[in-house]
């Protein structure tokens, strides 16, 4: 089991605040912790530099292009804490807010690739990290302007010129050189795309020899915090919903697509989100189904205010998102959708947390759903699963608080069995019961299904004949007279009736 650690979760309000020390209770069941996120300095000549490349976050110059950097002042200490707990700590580089264009330029030439690899080796060694998780979102992407929320009063913009049509080929070459540069002992993974167009752009089959795992981001199939995000579709359905209007993709669609594309199953890690997406719709009588249309609630901040995302989660503060712990605190009505193996919650009145508003509709994955997804990974022979992220799992409501990790513990326990579900075996047709009645035929008691006597009675009255006659070259028993069987056989033949 792998797990992403979010360095920004330290800013969640109590009791949801999450730091590296809070991971300790689940660390013993976690193989890899992906520390998110680290960045690298922009290509030389970038002007103006993004805010994070300048003080107080970074100190990038043309001379430090493609060199890894931390973002939070306590990142080095957090990495050290996680490593001390036992799991291998992996540097997760990039993320949604990191410009795709920077990745595109970094992988484009042998010189730029080697700058990154050389610097990465030094960075990993100095921080005691065990490898790299490349979170490029995503090769061949279009240009975009990404608003980054600092607070409701402050937003920053990430300008992204997008990728190139050569990104897939260059990514494969980069992974090859990265493997050669880091060696076989270091871990390499790539956070990979869930839609066919995007996974094909990543050249997943060609890149497979050089990675330990593809981290398949088979979630966020539909999101509400966009201008055209009205349709209520599941966040991470195991199977595709049939509801009219619902997005026609699912975990199964993606995973089977990877396998069909030629990716070995042992290279595939299936992603499980520990959060749900939220829409808004008052008075919903059909809330237990997908495909409905949400309304603009207007409770999100800045550029997200006009989207279909419901009020941000109380602690995560992200438009149209609630962490699993926040969903439990809301405590509204729920239903399990057996078709998609996912869950829906609806608040027809205010939530029990005193924060979630009436009309909030949530698509998420509860324990039964997550069990089904975990078992799916086992049944398909996948490498395992990872979660996003540790800060979103359950917390204690007791006096001392703390994270209890009910979902991650369940996943680890399910994986520890690690045996596929047996294929259904048809029940054997019942064998006919032995007959309990007998008849005497030619001096022998034989079972009969059409009446007779019990075996003891049959044996008492049924005796073999003692005389035979030769009839048409066959010795035939004849109680009225004849010769012994031996004499008949010597003169007549060896057939008896």
pLDDT tens-digit profile of 285-317?
Answer: 999 999 999 999 999 999 999 999 999 999 999
What was the pLDDT predicted at 435? 41
Which residues are CB-neighbours of 480 under 8 A, at least 6 positions away?
467
Is residue 115 pLDDT above 90, yes or no? yes
- Taking the C-alpha atoms of residue 235 and residue 412, their distance in angstroms, rounded to an integer, is 22
Cβ-Cβ contacts under 8 Å for 57 (sequence gap 6 or more): 51, 71
Q: What values do phi and psi take at 63, rounded to 5?
A: -75, -20
- What's the pLDDT at 459? 58
**Counts for the chain of helices (H) and strands (E), in that order:** 13, 20
Residue 449 has pLDDT above 50, yes or no: no
> What's the chain's average pLDDT?
89
Which are the contacts of 466, defined by CB distance < 8 A and separation ≥ 6? 479, 484
Q: Which range, of 210-219, 363-372, 407-416, 436-445, averages the lowest pLDDT?
A: 436-445
Half-sphere exposure of 472 (CA within 13 A, CB side): 1
pLDDT on residue 469: 60
> Token pair for residue 420?
């596929």
* Structure confidence at residue 308 (pLDDT): 98
Residue of 76 and 493 predicted with greater confidence: 76
pLDDT for 314: 95
**What is the per-residue pLDDT for 157?**
80
pTM, two decimal places: 0.83
3-state secondary structure at position 492: helix
pLDDT score, position 438: 56
- Each domain of the chain, given as residue ranges in start order, spans 2-273+366-417, 426-464, 466-497
Q: Residue 400: left if φ>0, alpha if ψ -120 to 50, beta else—which one?
A: alpha
Q: Tens digit of pLDDT for each residue in 224-241? A: 999 999 999 999 999 999
Which secondary structure element, helix H or strand E, spans residue 3, and what is its range? strand 2-6
pLDDT mean over 255-284: 98
The tens digit of pLDDT for each residue in 42-99 reads: 999 999 999 999 999 999 999 999 999 999 999 999 999 999 999 999 999 999 999 9
pLDDT at 432: 35
276-312: b (≥16 Cβ within 10 Å) or e? bbbbbbeebeebebbebebebbeebbeebeebbbbbb
Q: Residue 213 has which token pair? A: 């795992």
Residue range 2-273+366-417 in CATH 3.90.1170.50: no
Average of per-residue pLDDT across 406-419: 91
Contact at 8 Å (CB) between 239 and 323?
Answer: no
Tokens found for residue 162: 């997008």
Strand-pair partners of 157: 147
Cα–Cα nearest to 364, from 412, 405, 313, 317 = 313
- Rounded-to-integer distance, Cα 259 and Cα 381, Å: 11
Question: 148: part of which helix (H) or strand (E)?
Answer: strand 144-151
Distance CA 20, CA 33 (A): 10
CB 477 within 8 A of CB 443: yes
Mean pLDDT of 8-14: 96
171's CB contacts (< 8 A; 6+ apart) are 107, 136, 139, 202, 203, 207
Residue 85 half-sphere exposure toward CB, CA atoms < 13 A: 23
pLDDT for 434 equals 38
- The better pLDDT of the pair 6, 436 is held by 6
pLDDT digits (tens, 9 = 90+) for 24-47: 999 999 999 999 999 999 999 999
For residue 335, what are its two tokens? 């239903």
Nearby residues of 237 by Cβ (< 8 Å), 6 or more positions away? 221, 250, 251, 337, 340, 341, 342
Give the contacts of 465 (CB within 8 A, at least 6 positions apart): 442, 443, 477, 478, 479
Query: If you ran DSSP here, which 8-state letter would residue 380 be given?
Result: T
Strand pairing category for 333-337 and 342-346: antiparallel
What CA–CA distance (Å, rounded) separates 497 from 495?
7
Per-residue pLDDT tens for 456-490? Answer: 556 555 555 456 566 545 555 555 566 666 566 55
Confidence of residue 150 (pLDDT cuts 50, 70, 90): confident
pLDDT at position 158 is 81
What is the predicted pLDDT for the residue at 151?
Answer: 83
pLDDT given for residue 398 in this prediction: 74
Per-residue pLDDT of 342-395, as tens digits, reads 999 999 999 999 999 999 999 999 999 999 999 999 999 999 999 999 999 999
Q: Of 155, 130, 133, whose CA–CA distance to 145 is shortest?
A: 155
């Amino acid at each position: 089991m792998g797990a992403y650690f979010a360095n920004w979760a330290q800013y969640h309000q109590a009791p949801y605040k999450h730091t590296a020390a809070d991971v300790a209770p689940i660390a013993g069941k976690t193989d890899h912790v992906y520390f998110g996120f680290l960045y690298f300095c922009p290509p030389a000549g970038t002007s103006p530099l993004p805010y994070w490349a300048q003080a107080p976050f970074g100190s990038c110059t043309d001379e430090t292009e493609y060199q890894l950097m931390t973002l939070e002042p306590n990142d080095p200490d957090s990495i050290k804490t996680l490593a001390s707990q036992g799991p291998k700590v992996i540097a997760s580089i990039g993320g949604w807010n990191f410009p795709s264009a920077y990745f595109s330029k970094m992988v484009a030439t042998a010189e730029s690739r080697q700058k990154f690899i050389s610097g990465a080796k030094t960075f990993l060694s100095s921080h005691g990290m065990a490898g790299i998780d490349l979170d490029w979102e995503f090769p061949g992407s279009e240009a975009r302007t990404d608003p980054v929320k600092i607070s409701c009063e402050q937003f920053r913009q990430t300008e992204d010129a997008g990728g190139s049509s050569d990104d897939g080929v260059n990514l494969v070459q980069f992974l090859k050189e990265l493997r050669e540069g880091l060696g076989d002992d270091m871990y390499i993974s790539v956070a990979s795309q869930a839609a066919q167009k995007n996974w094909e752009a990543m050249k997943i089959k060609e890149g497979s020899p050089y990675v330990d795992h593809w981290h398949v981001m088979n979630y966020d199939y539909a999101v509400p915090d966009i201008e055209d995000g009205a349709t209520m579709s599941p966040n991470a359905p195991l199977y595709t919903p049939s509801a009219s209007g619902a997005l026609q993709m699912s975990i199964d669609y993606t995973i089977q697509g990877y396998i069909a594309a030629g990716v070995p199953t042992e290279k595939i890690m299936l992603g499980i989100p520990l959060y749900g997406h939220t829409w808004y719709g008052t008075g919903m009588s059909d809330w237990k189904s997908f495909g409905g249309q949400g309304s603009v609630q207007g409770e999100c901040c800045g550029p997200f205010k006009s989207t279909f995302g419901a009020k941000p989660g109380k602690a995560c503060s992200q438009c149209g998102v609630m962490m699993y712990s926040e969903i439990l605190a809301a405590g509204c009505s729920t239903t399990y959708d057996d078709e998609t193996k996912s869950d829906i919650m609806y608040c027809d009145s205010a939530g029990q947390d005193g924060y979630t508003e009436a009309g909030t509709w949530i698509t998420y994955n509860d324990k039964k759903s997550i069990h089904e997804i975990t078992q799916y990974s086992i049944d398909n022979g996948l490498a395992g699963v990872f979660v996003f992220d540790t800060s979103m799992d359950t917390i204690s409501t007791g006096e001392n608080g703390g994270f209890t990790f009910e979902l991650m513990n369940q996943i680890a326990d399910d994986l520890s069995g690690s045996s596929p579900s047996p294929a259904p075996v048809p029940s054997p047709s019942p064998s006919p019961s032995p007959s309990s009645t007998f008849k005497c035929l030619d001096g022998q008691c034989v079972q009969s299904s059409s009446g007779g006597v019990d075996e003891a009675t049959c044996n008492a009255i049924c005796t073999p004949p003692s005389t035979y006659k030769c009839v048409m070259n066959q010795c035939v028993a004849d109680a009225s007279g004849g010769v012994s069987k031996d004499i008949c056989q010597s003169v007549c033949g060896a057939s008896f009736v």
